[in-house]
Amino acid sequence: MSKAKGTALITGASSGIGAVYADRLAKRGFDLVLVARDGARMEALAARLLGETHVTIEIIPADLTVDVDVARIEQRLAAGDVTLLINNAGMSLNGSLLENGPAELGRIIALNVTAPTLLAAAAAKTFVAKGEGAIVNIASVLALAPELFDGVYSGTKAFLLNLSQAMAGQLADKGVYTQAVLPGATRTEIWERSGKDVDAFPADMVMDVDDLVDAALVGFDRRESVTIPPLADEAEWRALQQARLALTPKLSKRAVAARYREPAVA
């Protein structure tokens, strides 16, 4: 099969959402650069996809909580042949803010915030120079509902949503498309790795990972800036966005709002 689509670099590609993206994009004709810690699982995935699609697949074992490994992937993006970045690698905490120490908190921030930011920046610079490219950041519906879960995890996903929306607004006219994907509860290994039981949720609340990625790719094809696969009524998302944008011009003023000039009640 000749290359028709370009090359997609996928982080967290050894399992779950990343592995399904690899499958779907290979079948669309993308060559792949797979990035994850587990080289053996990526080799097995690559072997299957090569037999099914005959695309070119490069494997880069890397731990994106390690600075030198992130730098290697930044350099790979700077090479110029990648046309699509799937910023998928991420983790959840075992326990809450109160049960985790500096090492655990530093690790989730490194993987969920620092690494995707650096990789998005590296990809964006390359794509802007070429005048084309696409970046997909895997966030979460918890970016919109921080009260429902651990605030550290949801905070990292809110960061990715914020980053994605800013990039979408600032880079579209430079030929770069940015999509934030907001999954709800999705059946992947992230639950077991963080000591949680996905089966504790009602069955109708947990999406299959294949369905999640297929829906995300529908949003990608439609060039949505934000894709929320579980949300049935798009008008509800548009209303939230319109309310937020209406608030924007009111958020920075020289004068203190009158409601803060009232004397405190004793």
Q: How many angstroms separate the CA atoms of 132 and 116, rounded?
A: 19
Q: With residue 157 as reference, give the H or E element that holds it.
A: helix 151-171
Q: Measure the CA dihedral 25/31/37/42, to 10°.
A: 80
Residue 157 designated active-site: yes
Of 157, 174, 196, 260, the active-site residue reads: 157
Is the distance from CB of 162 to CB of 146 less than 8 angstroms?
no
| Active-site option among 21, 153, 177, 196 | 153
Distances (CA, A) of 8 to 55, 127, 131, 132: 11, 13, 17, 13
Look-up of token digits 């009524």: 233
Phi/psi at 173 (nearest 5 deg)?
Answer: -75, 0
256 secondary structure, DSSP code: P
Find residue 32's DSSP bridge partners: 8, 57
The alpha carbons of the chain give a radius of gyration, in whole angstroms, of 20
Instruction: Give backbone dihedrals phi and psi of 15, rounded to 5 degrees, phi first.
Output: -160, 175
Residues belonging to the active site: 153, 157
